[in-house]
Amino acid sequence: MLIFLFCSFLILRTDAEPKIVTTWGEPVTYTYYSFITTDNYWNGCIRKCLDEDDCVLVFQLADKCQLFREGYISTVRLLDKLSGKVVGFKRNLNECPNSDSPPLFGENTVLELTYSLTSITSDNEEDLVGFQYKCAINSYISLQRSVPVCISIRVFPEPYTGNYGAAEAVCSSDNAFSLTGPYDKIEENRARSSTAPNTRLAIHSVSERWLDIMAIVNSSMPANVTSKISDLWIDGCCGTEGKNCTFADETMIGTSQYNKFVKMYQGGEQCAFLSIKEAGMYSAK
């Protein structure tokens, strides 16, 4: 009995290149950041933010920087040169606009891949920039075939357990795009991550929500049933050894990872799933 679903939410794609737009300012409202120290100091901090999908802001300190990832920073206060404080916003831009008002360059709101930036004037007339995130707090951003998507987990309600069509329907409702799966081995490992909070994913990981929901469901189930409800149903109907898979999520088309690590419980065409007990993907009728 498979009761958890791996669902994706499609995000608008852009071909613009990520850049760091620096200006005078400081973080105001946040819940977590990482200290980053590199040999090349500030340029190294900027490069690290550009290299990490979920980095949205860097803040310059005397000999290191603070790196803020998606979901952990809400507002930034804009200052003047006399403050000596520098922040860098990640923006997707083809070129830097000809304007002296970074990071929004005269716009009230700008849209990025996974978040928006909005100009705010506080009650005491401070100039602020606010972050609004497109991925829900219980989901995380992922690139599947270079397409950015939000991935979350949903409970597959009775009496539909075992019905692949019903599983697809659950992951196509309430603004969700499709049932999906890990595009590669790295993404599977990220989905299982529940380690120290060095990324947004670690705090709001699929594995944590998976375990939390399982605990709630198990509390109302007979003891002889609980062992059957721990698996996570993912996209993919596959043949022997994970070959010739068909997918509901078009961003999964082209992955060869299923061929490498989908394990079979039975012969014939199977539906793929993740087991919370053992790494790797499995398939079963």
**pTM beyond cutoff 0.75:** no
Q: Do 267 and 144 share a structural domain? A: yes
Q: Do 72 and 59 share a structural domain? A: yes
Q: Do 152 and 121 share a structural domain? A: no
Domain that holds residue 112: 17-133
Q: Which of 133, 155, 184 is the last residue of a domain?
A: 133
| 3-state SS track over 135-203 | CCCCCEEEEECCEEEEEEEEECCCCCCCCHHHHHHHCCCCCCCEECCCCCHHHHHHHHCCCCCCCHHHH
Residue in 214, 9, 204 with CA at minimum distance from that of residue 114: 9
Q: Which of 133, 160, 187 is the last residue of a domain?
A: 133
Q: Do 122 and 92 share a structural domain? A: yes
Q: Do 200 and 104 share a structural domain? A: no
- Written as tens digits, the pLDDT of the chain (285 aa) is 444 566 665 555 556 789 999 999 999 999 889 898 877 789 999 999 998 878 999 999 988 899 998 888 999 999 999 999 999 999 999 887 877 899 999 999 998 877 889 999 988 889 999 998 877 666 666 766 667 777 777 777 666 566 777 778 888 887 777 888 877 776 777 666 543 333 433 334 555 656 666 666 666 666 555 555 566 778 888 776 667 788 888 777 777 667 655 665 555 567 777 776 666 666 665
Q: Which of 84, 99, 133 is the last residue of a domain?
A: 133
Q: Do 142 and 124 share a structural domain? A: no
Please provide the distance, in angstroms rounded to a whole number, between the alpha carbons at the two ends of the chain. 10
∠ CA 209-68-8 to the nearest 5 degrees?
Answer: 40
The domain total for the chain is: 2
218 alpha carbon, distance to own chain's centre = 27
Q: Do 162 and 203 share a structural domain? A: yes
Q: Do 28 and 63 share a structural domain? A: yes
Q: Do 231 and 123 share a structural domain? A: no
Q: Do 188 and 120 share a structural domain? A: no
Q: Do 182 and 126 share a structural domain? A: no
